[in-house]
A and B are shown apart, each in its own frame.
Chain A
């Protein structure tokens, strides 16, 4: 079962909401209701890994209380490394070993990735560091902590929240009607963006056009990365809207994750608008400590070097977090370079106001997505060649090879929503617009989107 599935939206969610409001009539019961629903959800997706999530939650809870944060972090990271990165390291090590003609190889596992491991591991690490830094005391209630770890609207793909925010709300949920309506509208917006824009763009990306030799020239290459840029954004922001909306039905507010990132004027601003919960996590728990450490070691006269190094290291790890593959590492490193360029030219602030600069910045963002979307090195090399004019403009060949234009309305719609600045749910359904007719139309959109789901639809960021 997935969050964007008819089973979840038509059965699991209404039953859970019904039980939450009708059967769980005290705050304590509501707390246990949410925990039970989260465990059932996780079990329906990944029953075998319920013991794992229990174990990691308990380890985190216990090590926080015993002031053993480092130990807890190491154990959480070990689990992440084993389930997500083992095969990456094993394959690369085996290649290196073969190069020196040795026969010793590491085994490759066929384990499934536990649902949400990248996300709840980061929640755990964030919690341990917050407690270690005395931002708040460790919780005494394991069930509340388990609820925080397993909370079903955010387990699949975030947003990553802190225990201080979400844990406190889960300990004492206080739903209200205004939030309930907001939740329904967020769900409507999320589903609409997913079905009408993201998946419509996905049809083009899954076509034979988007393959090595399927297209050639700059026109085809840039069209593909443009469509992917929009698909990824709308897909992930749709998921976030859905997650926030589902959570609001229970009176739990999750942090926003996007703020129209393609309107950013520079890389710093982009990362303040894109996947905000992740970039906030990396900034607080990695970038800042690394910067401080480097400044201390190198001295303030080498402040720039410290900044450059911290940027590259942090962003490379951001890339690596996204996937156990070199293309993600390269993508992260590329964004580290962009941040460094931005830091270097900070003396030329007026440049940001120029359209040419902003255009170049957008192109550089799209160029970076080529790394992110590449399924293998052959595709990546081919794509880079097309983007960099190795095979000419290719406008005619692009037009002749494109046999399906059904993605065009979604492409134009996506661009229009971005340009007019109404693409996030908070901008699409503000409280000032919630008339009867307006909400009625969104209700129709929500139901139509559920019908168009036709089974399960996976969100792209769930794979991370």
Chain B
């Protein structure tokens, strides 16, 4: 190829890159979707330019057996370098909060490592709250003030039975001879429809040692694949380079007792979030049977707790009225699921004297509060959480009494 052609192509290549950069520099790169598309576009563009230049310019020499060996090492070095660099970046920046209570922000909320860190600093509390983000506002301080029991809120975003199973192992491993008395677990009907193994990605390394081999492999595989995804690069750069924009995206802050507090939302935001929640949950799907895997894990929780004289209370957190009316009211599949669960729980109660349950999914004193009690369709504000604890108080006392009587 002639030099003029080479220079011409180089000019075209560089011009394209500059045009792309100028196009995106003029836009608001603080927005995550725009940032993500920009980075992907740039990587694609650079890759193509390098590919074209490589294909056009690079001339070779004679091939030989010894050269093949050397070249093989070149390929392995190139591939290995990129893979190790990405894994290293994933471990160092930890943009998804998979490995530690990171000094950097995380792109998606994952309080698991942070809460474990807080939990490991306190003495074993008498009452521990497990659950999803719906249980964040259950205040340990208020439980202490109302009931006199020390408490800790160990609920995590997207918490499922998988989380609670291994969290329980961790709690028991730390408690020496002073086990907690009551586990208060917020659950959702979906927890029993299928066991969500995707959450294994977010399992803190401290919990992985308690996992059976299959779940350990699954968790490790998911973490490796997460580390080797382009999202890791994008999210790491976004967090470091645009940390103020990322800061705005953090929904909850946590206190040392695990209480999660959400920044206040406007009325418009509330309305939008309720609509979003309804939209995502309205196609509720079928419920012909409960997940055997979920049942197995849940019964393991009950069994281990019983053997350690720990009472287990599960409750279905109240949802707000518009959400309930849109998603659950007159939903045959939901009703069917509820009946299946009632039958299942009744059976569990005969086998596990430490098992207590309360269905508060539609609890008018809380559900009817709407915007004064909810951030959205399902997440409670502090006052509503207080009412929830009041509703559970008699059962908590009964559970506590059972535990200390053993």
Contact surface of A with B, Cβ cutoff 8 Å: 6-7, 10-11, 177-178, 180-181, 184-185, 188, 192, 195-197, 200, 406, 409-410, 412-413, 416-417, 420, 422, 428, 430-448, 450-452, 454
CB distance from B47 to the nearest CB of A (A): 5
Given known pairs A436-B71, A443-B76, the reply for A431 and B45 (CB within 8 Å) is: no
CB distance from A211 to the nearest CB of B (A): 21
Most buried by A among B41, B59, B79: B79
CB distance from A458 to the nearest CB of B (A): 18
The reply to whether A185 and B75 contact each other, CB–CB distance below 8 Å, is: yes
Q: Which residues of B contact A185 (CB under 8 A)?
A: 75
Q: Which residues of B contact A450 (CB under 8 A)?
A: 83, 228
CB distance from B14 to the nearest CB of A (A): 12
3 smallest beta-carbon distances between A and B, as pairs: A443-B78, A433-B60, A447-B82
CA distance A343 to B50 in the complex (A): 42
CA distance A180 to B71 in the complex (A): 11
Q: Which residues of B contact A6 (CB under 8 A)?
A: 225, 228-229
| Cβ-closest chain B residue relative to A180 | B72
| Cβ-closest chain B residue relative to A446 | B79
The answer to whether the Cβ of B284 comes within 8 Å of any Cβ in the partner chain is no
Q: Which residues of B contact A441 (CB under 8 A)?
A: 50, 54, 78
The answer to whether the Cβ of B178 comes within 8 Å of any Cβ in the partner chain is no
The reply to whether B74 and A10 contact each other, CB–CB distance below 8 Å, is: no
User: Which of B62-70, B114-122, B168-176, B380-388 is the contact stretch?
Assistant: B62-70
CA distance A452 to B58 in the complex (A): 25
Contact surface of B with A, Cβ cutoff 8 Å: 16, 37, 41, 43-45, 47-52, 54-56, 58-63, 65, 67-83, 86, 221, 224-225, 228-231, 233
**21 A-B residue contacts at CB 8 Å?**
A11-B221, A184-B75, A185-B75, A200-B44, A409-B49, A410-B44, A413-B51, A417-B52, A430-B60, A432-B62, A433-B58, A433-B60, A436-B70, A437-B74, A439-B75, A444-B78, A445-B51, A446-B79, A447-B81, A447-B82, A451-B229
Q: Which residues of A contact B76 (CB under 8 A)?
A: 443
Q: Identify whether the interface residues of B are mostly helix, strand, loop, or mixed.
A: helix
The reply to whether A454 and B65 contact each other, CB–CB distance below 8 Å, is: no
Q: Which residues of B contact A431 (CB under 8 A)?
A: 63
Q: Which residues of B contact A195 (CB under 8 A)?
A: 47
Choice from A10, A11, A416, A447 contacting B78 with Cβ under 8 Å: A447
The reply to whether B41 and A406 contact each other, CB–CB distance below 8 Å, is: yes
The reply to whether B61 and A10 contact each other, CB–CB distance below 8 Å, is: no
The reply to whether A197 and B48 contact each other, CB–CB distance below 8 Å, is: yes
Q: Identify whether the interface residues of A are mostly helix, strand, loop, or mixed.
A: helix
Most buried by A among B41, B49, B69: B41
| Cβ-closest chain B residue relative to A182 | B68
CA distance A178 to B63 in the complex (A): 10
| Cβ-closest chain A residue relative to B84 | A447
The reply to whether A438 and B74 contact each other, CB–CB distance below 8 Å, is: yes
The reply to whether A447 and B70 contact each other, CB–CB distance below 8 Å, is: no
CB distance from B53 to the nearest CB of A (A): 10
Q: Which residues of A contact B59 (CB under 8 A)?
A: 433
CA distance A309 to B228 in the complex (A): 54
CA distance A428 to B60 in the complex (A): 11
Q: Which residues of A contact B77 (CB under 8 A)?
A: 440, 443
The reply to whether B74 and A454 contact each other, CB–CB distance below 8 Å, is: no
| Cβ-closest chain A residue relative to B55 | A422
The reply to whether B78 and A439 contact each other, CB–CB distance below 8 Å, is: yes
CA distance A242 to B112 in the complex (A): 40
Q: Which residues of B contact A200 (CB under 8 A)?
A: 44, 48
Most buried by A among B61, B63, B65: B63
Q: Which residues of A contact B47 (CB under 8 A)?
A: 192, 195-196, 445, 448
Given known pairs A197-B48, A443-B78, the reply for A177 and B72 (CB within 8 Å) is: yes
CB distance from B237 to the nearest CB of A (A): 14
The reply to whether A413 and B52 contact each other, CB–CB distance below 8 Å, is: yes
The reply to whether A196 and B74 contact each other, CB–CB distance below 8 Å, is: no
CB distance from B345 to the nearest CB of A (A): 34
Given contacts A416-B52, A432-B60, A443-B82, 8 further A-B contacts (CB under 8 A): A11-B221, A178-B68, A188-B75, A435-B60, A445-B47, A446-B79, A448-B43, A452-B230
Q: Which residues of A contact B63 (CB under 8 A)?
A: 431-432, 434
CA distance A428 to B54 in the complex (A): 9
The reply to whether A413 and B48 contact each other, CB–CB distance below 8 Å, is: yes
CB distance from A278 to the nearest CB of B (A): 27
| Cβ-closest chain A residue relative to B227 | A451
Q: Which residues of A contact B45 (CB under 8 A)?
A: 409
Q: Which residues of A contact B78 (CB under 8 A)?
A: 439-447
The reply to whether B55 and A409 contact each other, CB–CB distance below 8 Å, is: no
The reply to whether B68 and A181 contact each other, CB–CB distance below 8 Å, is: yes
